[in-house]
Structure 1
């Protein structure tokens, strides 16, 4: 991907001023309207890009549904998109991951969030004019990062694939995939910038958890509903990890054995 997966607050401000990017706010509509938003941003709430018909709450909505959401919001598929939220980028990351799966290759997150933005940049409460856009569906990449339950079952038997559980300690203790290493997604968040940590800091966290730092390491991420794993996915990809996959259904779809530990 030539477009950066993570853009600093200042980089987003510069690119937005130059009209080089399209901004998508994935917060709730009341937050977007009442609290304000980045100037020019359109609102596509998080629940809109999940499959409402699926029994598994982390399932992606489908390429046609996602393209329709962007079209109704006035987003052009050919122009770079930057998404943000006010939760360190975890909901925005889910949007970006969805876009990547469906073939949008110029997409990234505000590396921080709305709170970080408004420390030094203006906010807006006006809703921009939205004209429905046209365009065909992008071509998905030849290798999707999504793995199925059957694939997970097969990979668990292999020793060269590292499974990472991005949930909290109590969740992990209650039950996790056999052999999975716990890496709470928040451990990769910088509390000051509210965005992701630097490459060196991320490497230090990985080493602390005995997670290989070789960029070709096969990794499968999971959580409960494929939200937290999305943030970790983007951070790992942004520092050069090449073989990161996600278990979309996560533990909401898993029906195999789980390991338990003391919390």
Structure 2
């Protein structure tokens, strides 16, 4: 277990499983099979956990621009959070998945973006919970009556215009969170164009955890970012603004609070290439 207020262990969650001010959210998802996460949840999940779907709940519909997972409508997400028992500034939300925090971190970041800092991710995810033989169920919990009022933190997010105008500044670091081969353009399994935003440096999101999905200790998170030399702003992106949130979690754990999400990420960036904007050409 790592020493961070952003992470809870399976042991801690088990001890607090029935507390009314703890709400558990299952975020399991598969980009290749969008229905798989919900099916897995319906078959077996942590007792009392609700399910939020990456496509249906944690994103808004895809448009011409904005990337493959545009940020959700804050009012609609707030209503969904109210319905699962999340009260603003009171309820601790514990998010988990089974993909090394790829999707749980999206909810973690979104809640903070909505002004709710009482949120943590489950260390080791669902696999660690099952390994510890803690209770699982297929019972879907009933909706709740809570009040979640969003208080947007716009400073946490940047769009393509900000990235274009500021990415080459000495005060800004642009971080690509995808695996090395996608960053280098050697392979591109999802988006239509391979490569990366010119000037970006590569910090693969998988390096935040070990191979079993356990988060590396705070000191190791700090060591990850030493080479950045304390830029005033860190713009973090991935393919569509989802796994970049794992790196944003890592930055917060390291005590670096200048990370901002380029929400549209690579899929948004390349959507403008057809417009003939030569500034967006990749290296």
Classify the TM-score, shorter chain: 0.7 to 0.9
Name which of 200, 214, 221 aligns with 1:202.
Answer: 221
Query: Residues of 1 paired with 2:111 and 2:10: CA distance?
Result: 21
1:252 aligns with 2:267: yes
Name which of 182, 188, 196 aligns with 1:171.
Answer: 182
Structure 1 unaligned residues grouped into runs of 5+: none
Cα shift at 1:244: 0.7
Residues 76 and 133, structure 1, Cα contact 8 Å, conserved in 2: no
What SS does structure 2 have at the residue aligned with 1:236?
Answer: helix
Give the TM-score, by structure 2 length.
0.81
Deviates more, 1:146-155 or 1:19-28: 19-28
What SS does structure 1 have at the residue aligned with 2:235?
Answer: strand
- Structure 1 stretches of 4+ with a deviation exceeding 4 A read 17-20
Structure 2 unaligned residues grouped into runs of 5+: 29-36, 186-194, 273-278
Count of residues in Structure 1 that have an aligned counterpart in Structure 2 = 251
What SS does structure 2 have at the residue aligned with 1:13?
Answer: helix
Cα shift at 1:109: 0.9
- Counterpart of 1:137 in structure 2 is 149
- Counterpart of 1:31 in structure 2 is 40
Q: How does 1:10-89 map to 2 (within 5 A)?
A: 10-27=11-28, 28-34=37-43, 36-48=44-56, 49-55=58-64, 56-77=67-88, 78-89=90-101
Query: Residues of 2 paired with 1:137 and 1:238: CA distance?
Result: 26
Deviates more, 1:4-13 or 1:127-136: 127-136
1:146 aligns with 2:157: yes
1:126 aligns with 2:146: no
Deviation per residue, 1:82-113 (Å, 9 max, x gap): 11011111101001111111121211211221
What SS does structure 1 have at the residue aligned with 2:94?
Answer: strand
RMSD of the alignment, in Å?
2.1
What SS does structure 1 have at the residue aligned with 2:25?
Answer: strand
Residues 27 and 103, structure 2, Cα contact 8 Å, conserved in 1: yes
Residues 75 and 150, structure 2, Cα contact 8 Å, conserved in 1: no
Query: Residues of 2 paired with 1:132 and 1:15: CA distance?
Result: 18
- Counterpart of 1:185 in structure 2 is 205
Name which of 209, 214, 218 aligns with 2:233.
Answer: 218
Cα shift at 1:128: 4.2
